[in-house]
């Protein structure tokens, strides 16, 4: 790329190009390449043709992988039942959710938890894939290396806050950039000025969507959160003049730097609220049939969040971005006790929510353009603690969408047996696939070039496989 071509870029594209070129150097991948024309070309290689979105469904608390995807072949289920004892799901209860895949070792079979039955048609239609035993790793690690502590390990294993952060950002609690936000940073040039609506959270603040330049825009399940008295019709006693006076007061430039910055941000918030309110006005109730707010009198919080994501995607033409990253969540998975009562209800909400969301996307005609995936703090112990399971490490995760090479299992199937080759203690799985590989696979589909992958997944250079294969074009 010559200097003239760089100069002719739009301002957002030029800034993104220069930023990424500098980041590549900092990442270490560009040290020998920084003056190489091929590397310069790669620094502007993010592909943003057409519309694509990633939707992360984070399961807070550490989902129990042992009762989410259950070994079904008779030998593996017997090992599983021996280890899980009172937590084991009977094999007879799994006949309706057996998944037929050719990517497992000979004789191995899995079944979904019965509450996840709505996902089986998606698997059978090759629109849902299972990534087996994925978790944070800094380098490929064997059981012997783990026991000897002879390789670097992820920081603060088995800690909720830290492992949530490691999953979302590749660093322990206190990290300020997440890999969803880093994807947003790379996408900004293609989104041409739509920075506010590139990274959107429907579940509050989280490091996952925090980028250097892409802003994590937070929205409630009912829409953008209004500033009371300024944007609400019932504010300031219904007096338009009072509302306008307040708006002027909190948005006008000030001589004091901090006051001026606060007002600038407030003005941006008001403007974005107006844009969002207008964009969402036509989709009220549109997806209620497939993502109801309540089922049998019980509130479905995940449905509400996913419905808002569907409405935001429906409004993409008005909002502008060609690339978007979303975060939703479902909490309550830290079940050290009462697992057999609490976990099925959570999986019922998860299964119905994911299936309903895919129906909504298909109705919008964007099924192949949106990929939804799950993540969680960690998996759980295979061993029962008497009434529940304790903090683990590796876990199994779902990836679904029209671009997914579904009906298949990816990664290495662990043995559901105590003291097996992946057991670091109590049936905690040593991951055989790294979160960085998982993130890199999603990033490549999103439009990130090979050279840019370390900007999203910092440890990807330590692993031989950058693309796990579960996504097509």
360-370 pLDDT per residue, tens? 999 999 999 99
Confidence of residue 45 (pLDDT cuts 50, 70, 90): low
Same domain, 18 and 69: no
Mean pLDDT of the chain: 88
Which has the minimum average pLDDT: 85-94, 125-134, 218-227, 392-401? 218-227
Tokens 């072949």: give the residue: 73
**Of the candidates 281, 274, 220, the residue with the CA atom closest to the CA atom of residue 251:** 274
Going from the C-alpha of 405 to that of each of 11, 437, 440, the distances in angstroms are: 37, 16, 16
Tell whether the model's pLDDT for residue 36 goes beyond 50.
no
> How far is Cα 30 from Cα 152, in angstroms, rounded to an integer?
23
- Looking at the domain assignment, is residue 157 inside a domain? yes
- Looking at the domain assignment, is residue 395 inside a domain? yes
- Looking at the domain assignment, is residue 342 inside a domain? yes
Alpha-carbon dihedral angle through residues 429, 433, 436, 440, given to the nearest 10 degrees: -150
Residue 388: give its domain's CATH number. Answer: 3.40.720
- Looking at the domain assignment, is residue 80 inside a domain? yes
Residue 3 structural domain? 1-44
SS3 content of the chain, % helix, strand, coil (to 5): 45, 15, 40
Same domain, 402 and 330: yes
Burial 14-41 (b: 16+ CB within 10 A, else e): eebbebbbebbeebebbeebeeeeebbe
Task: Kindly report, residue by residue over 323-361, the tens digit of the pLDDT.
Answer: 999 999 999 999 999 999 999 999 999 999 999 999 999
> How far is Cα 52 from Cα 73, in angstroms, rounded to an integer?
38
Same domain, 188 and 314: yes
294 pairs with which residues across the strands?
Answer: 299
Helices and strands in the chain: count of H runs, count of E runs? 15, 14
- The reported pLDDT for the residue numbered 162 is 96
The three-state secondary structure class of 186 is: helix
Same domain, 12 and 61: no
> How far is Cα 129 from Cα 400, in angstroms, rounded to an integer?
6
Q: What pTM does this model have?
A: 0.90
**Of the candidates 327, 408, 48, 76, the residue with the CA atom closest to the CA atom of residue 194:** 48
408 pairs with which residues across the strands?
Answer: 129
- Looking at the domain assignment, is residue 235 inside a domain? no
Q: Is 59 exposed, middle or buried (0-12, 13-18, 19+ CB in 10 A)?
A: buried
Same domain, 81 and 32: no
More confident residue, 223 or 317: 317
When pLDDT is averaged across residues 102-130 and rounded to a whole number, the result is: 96
**Of the candidates 248, 273, 251, the residue with the CA atom closest to the CA atom of residue 260:** 251
- The reported pLDDT for the residue numbered 32 is 43
Same domain, 301 and 432: yes
Tell whether the model's pLDDT for residue 25 goes beyond 90.
no
Same domain, 26 and 72: no
User: How wide is the angle at C-alpha 169 spanned by C-alphas 195 and 10, nearest 5°?
Assistant: 25
The three-state secondary structure class of 52 is: strand
The total domain count for the chain is 2
Same domain, 209 and 315: yes
Same domain, 6 and 117: no
């Amino acid at each position: 790329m010559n200097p003239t071509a760089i100069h002719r870029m739009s301002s957002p594209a030029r800034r993104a190009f220069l930023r990424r070129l500098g980041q590549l150097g900092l990442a270490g991948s560009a040290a020998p390449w920084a003056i190489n024309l091929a590397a310069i070309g790669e620094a502007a290689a993010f592909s943003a043709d057409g519309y694509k979105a990633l939707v992360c469904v984070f399961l807070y608390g550490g989902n129990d992988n042992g009762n989410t995807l259950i070994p079904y072949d008779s030998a593996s289920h017997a090992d599983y039942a021996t280890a899980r004892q009172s937590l084991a799901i009977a094999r007879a209860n799994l006949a309706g959710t057996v998944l037929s895949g050719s990517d497992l070792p000979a004789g191995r079979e899995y079944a979904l938890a019965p509450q996840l039955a709505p996902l089986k048609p998606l698997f059978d239609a090759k629109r849902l894939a299972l990534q087996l035993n994925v978790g944070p790793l800094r380098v490929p690690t064997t059981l012997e290396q783990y026991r000897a502590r002879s390789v670097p390990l992820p920081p603060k294993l088995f800690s909720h806050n830290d492992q949530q952060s490691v999953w979302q950002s590749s660093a322990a609690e206190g990290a300020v950039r997440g890999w969803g936000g880093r994807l947003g940073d790379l996408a900004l040039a293609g989104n041409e000025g739509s920075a506010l609506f590139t990274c959107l959270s429907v579940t509050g603040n989280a490091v996952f969507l925090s980028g250097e330049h892409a802003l994590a825009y937070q929205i409630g399940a009912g829409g953008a959160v209004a500033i009371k008295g300024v944007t609400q019709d019932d504010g300031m006693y219904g007096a338009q003049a009072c509302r306008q006076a307040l708006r002027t007061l909190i948005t006008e430039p000030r001589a004091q730097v901090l006051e001026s910055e606060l007002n600038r941000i407030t003005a941006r918030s008001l403007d974005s609220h107006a844009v969002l309110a207008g964009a969402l006005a036509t989709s009220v109730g549109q997806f209620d049939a497939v993502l109801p707010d309540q089922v049998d009198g019980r509130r479905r919080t995940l449905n509400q969040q996913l419905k808002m994501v569907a409405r935001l995607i429906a409004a993409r033409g008005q909002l502008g971005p060609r690339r978007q990253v979303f975060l939703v969540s479902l909490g309550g998975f830290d079940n050290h006790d009462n697992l057999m009562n609490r976990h099925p209800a959570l999986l019922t909400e998860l299964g119905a929510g994911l299936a309903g969301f895919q129906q909504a996307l298909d109705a919008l005609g964007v099924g192949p353009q949106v990929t939804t995936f799950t993540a969680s703090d960690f998996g759980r112990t295979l061993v029962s603690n008497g009434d529940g399971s304790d903090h683990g490490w590796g876990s199994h995760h779902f990836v679904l969408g029209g671009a997914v090479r579904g009906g298949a299992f990816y990664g290495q199937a662990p043995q559901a047996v105590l003291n097996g080759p992946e057991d670091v203690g109590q049936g905690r799985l040593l991951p055989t696939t790294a979160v960085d590989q998982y993130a890199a696979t999603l990033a490549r589909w999103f439009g990130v070039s090979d050279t840019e992958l370390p900007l999203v997944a910092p440890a990807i250079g330590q692993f031989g496989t950058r693309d796990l294969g579960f996504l097509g074009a």
